[in-house]
Amino acid sequence: MGAFPAVNSGIAFGLVAALCWGIADFCARGSSRAGGTFLTLLAIQVVAVAALLGIALPLGLLSLSAMPLGMVLAAAGVSLAILAGAGFLYRAFAIGTLALASPIAASFAAITALLALVTGERPALTQLVGIALTLGGVVLASSVSTPTRAEAGKARALPTDPAIGGRWRVTWHPEPGLIEALASMLIFGVAYWALRFVVGALGGVRTAFIGKVTDLLALSVIALVGASVARRRSRSLATPRWYAPRRPPFAFWLFVVPAALLDTTANIAYNLGITRALVSVVVVLSSLFSAVTVLLAWIFLRERLRGWQWVGVSAIFVGIVLVSR
């Protein structure tokens, strides 16, 4: 009795969010490749809303009464931003390397922590070092090597000024999914910082529910508009497939259902965590989801990175640990 110190509930919620997001992202990678990014996002919202109404509401965990309109609109706006970030992230999963995209996206914690610092939180020196390490890790993890002779032959080459001997220079091309992962990092960084102002008024579960409903409505409108455009096009023209790809295989649902349930659990855990501990602490613990995703990619997908990219990934993880101290 009393041999083990009590764990702050905010820290516990942050770790739960990390575990759930890590597994959810691994599942989202499978569903994105099986059914496409858009359909993955849409299906996740459908499953999430159904789960919240079917489980949280009957258990009394979700209350839909007395919600200030201003806060509801704010929660909806933040959720749409997070949805955009998720869209970029799932696209990165679909076209790129999971073990690279996930750590870069997880670095949103550095941005959120910096915003929390500017708005009044005072992290310790070790936390500031962790933020610097995290950002430096992103630079290393997102770097690519100078093309080999074979790779250079495939790359687009442009002639330079004839006055310098007619040499050729090879243009730099980011690895597939890199730009999307960086976009998700920036969007998540701002959005998850803004959540602190919404969760305090609405609570963690209601904020998550409003977000899922908003995302479902937005994606449904996009799908309907896309379907309308497709119907008006001539059959001789290519029809847009981004909004509603062919009927997804059964494997899609095997991935998307757990992704939706785990993602919703992580959202609620994060929301509850930032009401019980510093945002700068909870967010970096939550961003440890990348370690879970990379581990799963290492075990099941046999994904590999170059040496310095692993150094960058390691720096990200060390930075996250330091920020959480």
SS3 label, residue 159: strand
The confidence score (pLDDT) of residue 155 equals: 43
Please name which of 28, 15, 12 lies closest in space to residue 261, comparing C-alpha atoms. 28
Most confident region among 14-28, 57-71, 126-140 by mean pLDDT: 14-28
SS3 label, residue 209: helix
pLDDT category at 234 given cuts 50, 70, 90 is low
Global pTM value: 0.79
Q: Which residue is listed with tokens 């919620």?
A: 13
Query: Which one-letter DSSP state was computed for residue 242?
Result: S
Q: Buried b vs exposed e over 235-266: b needs ≥16 C-beta within 10 Å?
A: eeeeeeeebbeeebeeebeebbbbbbbbbbbb
Please name which of 137, 153, 135, 121 lies closest in space to residue 281, comparing C-alpha atoms. 121
The confidence score (pLDDT) of residue 303 equals: 73
Residue 169's H or E segment, with its range, is strand 168-170
In tens, the pLDDT along 236-294 reads 445 455 444 467 788 899 999 999 999 999 999 999 999 988 888 888 888 888 888 87
Q: Percent of the chain at pLDDT above 90?
A: 36
φ, ψ of residue 169 to 5 degrees: the values are: -120, 145
**Residue 192 half-sphere exposure, CB side, CA atoms within 13 Å?**
39
Task: Assess whether pLDDT exceeds 80 at residue 3.
Answer: no
Q: What is the mean pLDDT of the chain?
A: 81
Tokens of 52: 């919240």
Q: Which amino acid is at 199?
A: V
The confidence score (pLDDT) of residue 146 equals: 46
Please name which of 316, 47, 318 lies closest in space to residue 181, comparing C-alpha atoms. 316
Task: Assess whether pLDDT exceeds 60 at residue 4.
Answer: no
Q: What is the mean pLDDT of residues 165-181?
A: 66
The confidence score (pLDDT) of residue 165 equals: 46
Query: By the 8 A CB rule, do 92 and 227 touch?
Result: no
The confidence score (pLDDT) of residue 82 equals: 95
